[in-house]
C-alpha cells in the first residue's frame, strides 16, 4: 500500500493544520486538526499496486475529509477537516501530552485508535471558540487514521503550547 507521493508502505498526506483544544476541558489538551492541502476534500488516495489480494490489486481508494470547515478567518476555504491529533512530545520513545508553557525541540503527534472527532478553535472574526468536527471516509465508508509521529521544526527551534 502507498500514497502516490510515497514509497511502498509509506503514506504521505500533505495537509494544512490548525491548533485547537479539547471541547469539554477546563485545562485544555492541545489538538492539531488536519485539512487537505489542496482545494477539495480528498485527504489522500491510497494505491495497492503490488497486492496479492485479487480484490485490492491495482485499486486506488480515495480517502475524503468529511468533517466541518475551519472558521473563514483561517483562510482554508471550503476544505473539510479529516483528522485530529493530540500535540505533545516523544520522550524515550513514549508519547506524552504537551503541558501548558512547556518548551521542547522534538515534538509528537498522536492520532488515537479511537478517533478524536471534535475540537474547539479560535474564530478571530467572532472572538470566540467554535467547535469543529473532523472525520474521514474511504470508499464511502467511515474510516480512521491512527499512530504516533515525531515532529521537528527546521533549525531545531524550541516550541510548545501555552493557553
pLDDT digits (tens, 9 = 90+) for 107-138: 888 888 899 999 999 888 999 989 999 999 99
Number of helices followed by number of strands (H, E) in the chain: 0, 14
- Report residue 124 CA to chain centroid gap: 22
- Torsion angle defined by CA atoms of residues 71, 153, 11 and 81, in that order, rounded to the nearest 10 degrees: -10
pLDDT digits (tens, 9 = 90+) for 38-83: 888 998 888 877 777 777 777 888 999 999 999 988 888 889 999 9
pLDDT category of residue 2 using cuts at 50, 70 and 90: very low
Least confident range of 22-26, 56-60, 147-151, 158-162: 158-162
| Average pLDDT of the segment spanning 23-31 | 76
Residue 149: all three cell numbers together: 509521529
Residue 9: half-sphere exposure toward Cβ, Cα within 13 Å: 0
Report how far residue 42's alpha carbon sits from residue 34's, in angstroms, rounded to the nearest whole number.
Answer: 12
Among the listed residues 107, 114, 100, 83, the one whose alpha carbon sits nearest the alpha carbon of residue 156? 107
Interstrand relation of 42-48 and 136-138 (parallel, antiparallel or unpaired):
unpaired
pTM (two decimals): 0.81
Amino acid at each position: 500500500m502507498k500514497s502516490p507521493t510515497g514509497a511502498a508502505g509509506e503514506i504521505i498526506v500533505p495537509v494544512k493544520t490548525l491548533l485547537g483544544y479539547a471541547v469539554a476541558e477546563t485545562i485544555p489538551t492541545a489538538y492539531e486538526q488536519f485539512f487537505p492541502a489542496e482545494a477539495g476534500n480528498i485527504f489522500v488516495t491510497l494505491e495497492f499496486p503490488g497486492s496479492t489480494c485479487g480484490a485490492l490489486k491495482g485499486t486506488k481508494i480515495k480517502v475524503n475529509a468529511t468533517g466541518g470547515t475551519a472558521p473563514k478567518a483561517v483562510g482554508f476555504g471550503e476544505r473539510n477537516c479529516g483528522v485530529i491529533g493530540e500535540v505533545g512530545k516523544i520522550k524515550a520513545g513514549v508519547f506524552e501530552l504537551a503541558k501548558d508553557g512547556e518548551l521542547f525541540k522534538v515534538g509528537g503527534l498522536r492520532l488515537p485508535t479511537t478517533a478524536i472527532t471534535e475540537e474547539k478553535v479560535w474564530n478571530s472574526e467572532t472572538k470566540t471558540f467554535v467547535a469543529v468536527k473532523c472525520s474521514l471516509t474511504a470508499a464511502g465508508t467511515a474510516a480512521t487514521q491512527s499512530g504516533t509521529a515525531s515532529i521537528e521544526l527546521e533549525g531545531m527551534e524550541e516550541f510548545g503550547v501555552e493557553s
